[in-house]
Amino acid sequence: MPTALVIGAGPAGVAAALALRKIGYDVVVYEAHDRPGRTAGSYLTVASNGLSALRAVGAAAAVIDRSFPTPDTILWSGTGKRLARVSNGVLPDGTATRTIRRADLAAALTSALDVPVTYGRRLTALDLTDDGGGVVTAGFADGGEARGDLLVGADGVHSAVRGLLDPAAPHARHVGLLNFGGYTAAGAGVPDVAPGCWNLVFGRRAFFGYCRDDVGGIVWFANVPSPRERPPAELNAWTSAEWRHHLVGLAVADRTPVAALIEAGDLRYGPGNTYDLPSTPIWRRGHAVLIGDGAHATSPSSGQGASMAFEDAVVLAQCLRDVPGVPDALAAYERLRRARVERVTAHAARISNAKAAGPVARTLRDLLLPLVLRAAERGRSESWMHEHEIDWHAAVH
Ligand SMILES: Cc1cc2nc3c(=O)[nH]c(=O)nc-3n(C[C@H](O)[C@H](O)[C@H](O)COP(=O)(O)OP(=O)(O)OC[C@H]3O[C@@H](n4cnc5c(N)ncnc54)[C@H](O)[C@@H]3O)c2cc1C
């Protein structure tokens, strides 16, 4: 049985482990954190295309059980004007985009996984010297090593594997936004918000999102323009309560429920610098390959990062199943994935630019936005992203 070393136990790594096990690999996942559940962010959306990919590896039902449906988004201006209602993605069989707590997503994926995740193992070295057997050796910060027939770098936007495959590889790019995520429990003073959709607000001073969950609480986030990347000392200079107070100050300029929601809630994530990675020239070398944010990170604005990671994992396994020889299979994987993921990343970067706009650009944006959004409402302009489905049984060439 061939052995795969998967580096990173985020969405990409766990989905890859599920998919590789399905095609007969013996898989071990190595995670730098010392225990499960230490994932960034509070909630995230799993788009319809991501659920479709998870279905191929038998993990969609566990995610659906722990999440709530958010098939639509309503867009608002800071003046309280409703701009448009757009779909977040619904597949022909009715499977719709869902929202889930990050910790619940991790639990859902690992409950479907009966391969070992080894915590507290940070990859620091990679030996791809091919002695004819195609063996890969991973070196860890603790001095230990592991050998396998395949190494999957699923180690996120600041990937170590990326730099070991190509010392000239690009670094993650700051996209001009500080990210915050929070939650306001049902009850006391919480404005009435319709269930089943995300509400996104192009506010005067920041961009906000909120939606009601299945127990009546409100999940919310804020994207605050920040032209430069903030060092940790600056991000940690204020307490959570002080940052939350700052967000309330930014939201009161708008005629929406956001200021009241944030006032009554808890900050659960952030502030965090926001990154993307538009194009990585080298995705693979010998028997090692990058997937997920390690290869191509979209800014959170697309709501697609995890779903792209799930798609990568499934296509990678299909290629290894159907294309003889690991290097050729990895080449087929890159050929099948690169154009799509780079299109999603470019799409998200345009949205992030609109969120981070300065005063002049903002005025222009606010004038043009209703026209663009109305066209989007009519034309289902994101269906190429959300309605993408992978047929697990189709042979890859
Ligand atoms: C604020 C925010 C909101 C977001 N919202 C959404 C959303 O709504 N929908 C969506 O689809 N996406 C969203 N994303 C993006 C999404 O989180 C990522 O695209 C997704 O997590 C990528 O998965 P990954 O497994 O590739 O990387 P990661 O989730 O970053 O996982 C990488 C793992 O590798 C581990 N690791 C790192 N280095 C090493 C090493 N050297 N050795 C061993 N292990 C290592 C890390 O500890 C981590 O566990 C959001 C991102 C942010 C920051």
Average pLDDT, the chain: 91
Residue pair 4/25 in contact (Cβ under 8 Å)? The answer is yes
Confidence of residue 283 (pLDDT cuts 50, 70, 90): very high
pTM above 0.75? yes
Residue 128 has pLDDT above 60, yes or no: yes
**Nearest Cα residue to atom 30 of ligand 1:** 156
Residue 358 has pLDDT above 80, yes or no: no
Residue 131 has pLDDT above 80, yes or no: no
The CA distances from residue 193 to 95, 99, 189, in Å, are 23, 16, 12
Q: Is the CB of 89 under 6 A from ligand 1?
A: no
- The pick from 142, 157, 293 for probing ligand 1's pocket by mutation, whose C-beta has the most ligand atoms within 8 angstroms, reads 293
Q: Which amino acid is at 9?
A: A
Q: For 299, left (φ over 0), alpha (ψ -120 to 50), or beta?
A: beta
**Nearest Cα residue to atom 8 of ligand 1:** 44
- The pick from 68, 122, 155, 178 for probing ligand 1's pocket by mutation, whose C-beta has the most ligand atoms within 8 angstroms, reads 155
**Nearest Cα residue to atom 27 of ligand 1:** 156
Give the angle 251-255-257 at the CA atoms, nearest 5°.
70
In terms of C-beta distances under 8 Å and separation of at least 24 residues, what long-range contacts does 377-384 make, across chains too? 377/84, 377/85, 377/86, 380/87, 382/86, 382/87, 382/89, 382/347, 383/87, 383/89, 384/343
How far is the centre of ligand 1, averaged over its atoms, from the C-alpha of 78 (Å)?
A: 30
Q: Where are the domains of the chain?
A: 3-172+277-386
- The minimum-distance atom of ligand 1 relative to the CA of 8 is 34
**Which pLDDT tens digit goes with each residue over 337-357?**
999 999 999 988 887 676 656
Residue 380 has pLDDT above 60, yes or no: no
Q: Is the CB of 155 under 6 A from ligand 1?
A: yes
- Tell me what the mean pLDDT of segment 279-285 comes to: 97
Residue pair 327/48 in contact (Cβ under 8 Å)? The answer is no
Residue 123 has pLDDT above 90, yes or no: yes
Nearest of 160, 210, 163, 157 to residue 183 by alpha carbon: 210
Beta bridge partners of 85: 74
Q: Is the CB of 154 under 6 A from ligand 1?
A: yes
Q: Is the CB of 179 under 6 A from ligand 1?
A: yes
The CA distances from residue 200 to 152, 220, 222, in Å, are 36, 10, 10
CATH number belonging to the domain at 3-172+277-386, selected among 3.30.70.1290, 3.50.50.60, 3.40.50.300, 3.90.1150.180: 3.50.50.60
**Which pLDDT tens digit goes with each residue over 39-98?**
656 899 999 999 999 999 999 999 999 999 999 999 999 999 998 899 999 988 899 999
Confidence of residue 194 (pLDDT cuts 50, 70, 90): confident
Residue pair 251/258 in contact (Cβ under 8 Å)? The answer is yes
The pLDDT assigned to 219 comes to 96
**Which pLDDT tens digit goes with each residue over 144-191?**
999 999 999 999 999 999 999 999 999 999 999 999 999 999 986 778
Q: Is the CB of 12 under 6 A from ligand 1?
A: yes
How far is the centre of ligand 1, averaged over its atoms, from the C-alpha of 256 (Å)?
A: 31
Beta-carbon neighbour count of residue 57 at 10 Å? 24
Structure tokens at 386: 């959300």
The pLDDT assigned to 153 comes to 98
Structure tokens at 107: 């639990």
Edge to edge, what strands does the sheet with 43-46 contain? 43-46, 98-101, 68-69
The pLDDT assigned to 129 comes to 81
Confidence of residue 365 (pLDDT cuts 50, 70, 90): low
How far is the centre of ligand 1, averaged over its atoms, from the C-alpha of 62 (Å)?
A: 19
Torsion angle, alpha carbons of 128, 130, 133, 137, to 10: -20
